[in-house]
Chains A and B, each alone.
Chain A
């Protein structure tokens, strides 16, 4: 059974960089069928797609976040990562990683991790 697990700091200071990693188990991140994505959800609010990437390094970023965003992959560890720079309180959210049947929907999700931006 495919599983995804987010990891990273739960607290980030304003203006600093938010870094998260998603570890995939029960399947290969190098599958030709799938992309791997990040989605976030501010407390009490809806879902926002952040970005998606293919194991080869091809990426799609939300235009509203593109200038601050980097998504990368480490196939040797079956992991992919998110870096969001210059964070503000508006970036406080539960961050989910997910498998994406590209270019369509997200069929497997991690449990999510809350990241709070605060000094």
Chain B
């Protein structure tokens, strides 16, 4: 099984901050990685696929990078709507998710 580990588990930030979340895979997954945003009581929403491709309709302040085993999701300037939990997901071998990173208000 491919394990996905996100860091940090919780991140406290202020409006306008640049935020970076890291996702590490237990083995190389090339660029087969997606990022999702989930708000309380709601389904996850796809943000990024293929490690760095922005899903249609997602604000350009979100960006993804990385390949192999280390990936990052960056929010360039944190907005009120961005306080949520973020998950990475690999699709190199079956499909597994990271444990999530909660972005909260500082």
Question: Residues of A at under 8 Å CB distance from B?
Answer: 37, 46-49, 52, 60, 62-63, 96, 98, 101, 103-107, 109-112
Contacts and interface: CB of A to CB of B under 8 A. Distances in A.
Q: How large is the interface on B (under 10, 10 to 19, 20 to 34, 35 or more residues)?
A: 20 to 34
A69 to B, nearest CB: 13
Contacts of B43: 96, 98, 109-112
Which 4 residue pairs are nearest across A and B when measured between Cβ atoms? A109-B43, A105-B34, A49-B95, A47-B97
Q: Which of A49, A105, A112 has the most CB of B within 10 A?
A: A105
Given A104-B34, A107-B55, A60 B94 contact: yes
Contacts, number: 52
B94 A105 contact: no
Given A47-B44, A49-B95, 7 more contacts: A49-B96, A60-B94, A104-B49, A105-B34, A105-B46, A107-B49, A109-B43
27 contacts: A37-B95, A46-B87, A46-B97, A46-B98, A46-B100, A47-B44, A47-B87, A47-B89, A47-B100, A49-B97, A60-B94, A62-B94, A63-B94, A96-B43, A98-B43, A101-B49, A103-B91, A104-B32, A104-B34, A104-B49, A104-B91, A105-B46, A105-B49, A105-B89, A105-B91, A106-B44, A106-B46
Interface in B1-57: 1, 32, 34, 36, 42-46, 49-50, 55
Nearest to A96: B43
Contacts of A105: 34, 46, 49, 89, 91
B43 to A, nearest CB: 4
A109 B44 contact: yes
Nearest to A4: B43
B67 interface: no
B99 interface: yes
Contacts of A48: 97
Interface string B67-99: 000000000000000000001010100111111
A49 B98 contact: no
